[in-house]
Copies of this chain bind each other. A is one copy, B any other.
């Protein structure tokens, strides 16, 4: 676990891609970008989603035709880019579950943010069917997904990673290899989400606190971005608050879910995580106010309501 290995894109395209057939489950903002990046790189790719519209769009852009069953029987790699653990389990073992039809020696890359124990459970059940599970949560957002420039927090058997490396290089700019077991990839993703969620809530707390002292949000953004109080999330999300634009790049609901996973994993390890708990309550309050589908920076509205303040764009 102490060694982090990196590898980067740069594999030249060649006909060996024809030998790696990929099925992508989940054509949301992340999955669609990954599937498109694979098409661009020359792989045969099937794409499936609960939305028929997304599937049709993907076909029109060059996706392979065929049913889930036909695709999975041929696929060397299945990339699962659904929302959560429940959907992941459903793809594998639900009514139309694909686990039993996957080829011997095929690889299942799981990209949702899940608890490490869940990943271990899925890997064990797939191993009994001679399918390799890779623990590969993703980070970077929809723009990077579309550009084939995601970050993968990965762990799992090196041989499985080696077999699918050209596909990984097509979707990711940066790949952390966090160990040969299943679990560390998901654990690191959960750690990142702990910080991401706390930092978004902290940014909201700071910007609204400053407003309570008469400092406009754009001034806080300008100054703090250049001070030791800054964070990646502060610089990325506070502009949404300054603009009063809560179009969801990543929604409040995502952090209700992800900080919930952090809290559950922490609970399971008897780990006291008070900042996680405090941030989760603020996102829950945002959801309770009806803001679950708004951008996660809308957590600032909880602070503003509680303090009787008006944010930019509000009356």
Contact = CB atoms under 8 A, between A and B. Distances in A.
A159 interface: no
A277 interface: yes
Contacts of A215: 1, 178, 184, 187-188, 191
Contacts of A184: 213-215
A306 B272 contact: yes
B188 A234 contact: no
A278 interface: yes
Contact of A231 (B199, B201, B206, B226): B199
A252 to B, nearest CB: 16
A270 B213 CA distance: 11
A233 interface: yes
A274 interface: yes
Nearest to A233: B228
A116 B231 contact: no
Nearest to A202: B198
B278 A224 contact: no
A226 B222 CA distance: 23
A303 interface: yes
Interface string A270-306: 1111111111011000000000000000000001001
A275 B272 contact: no
Interface in A206-244: 206, 208-210, 212-216, 218-220, 222-224, 226-234, 236
Interface string A184-205: 1001101111111011011101
Contact of A187 (B188, B210, B228): B210
B209 A153 contact: no
Interface string A159-203: 000000000000000101010000110011011111110110111
Contacts of A153: 223, 227
Given A1-B216, A209-B262, A229 B270 contact: no
A172 to B, nearest CB: 13
Contacts of A222: 4
A147 interface: no
A41 interface: no
Contacts of A273: 205, 209
Contact of A202 (B195, B208, B214): B195
Contacts of A303: 271-272
A199 B269 contact: no
A195 B272 CA distance: 21
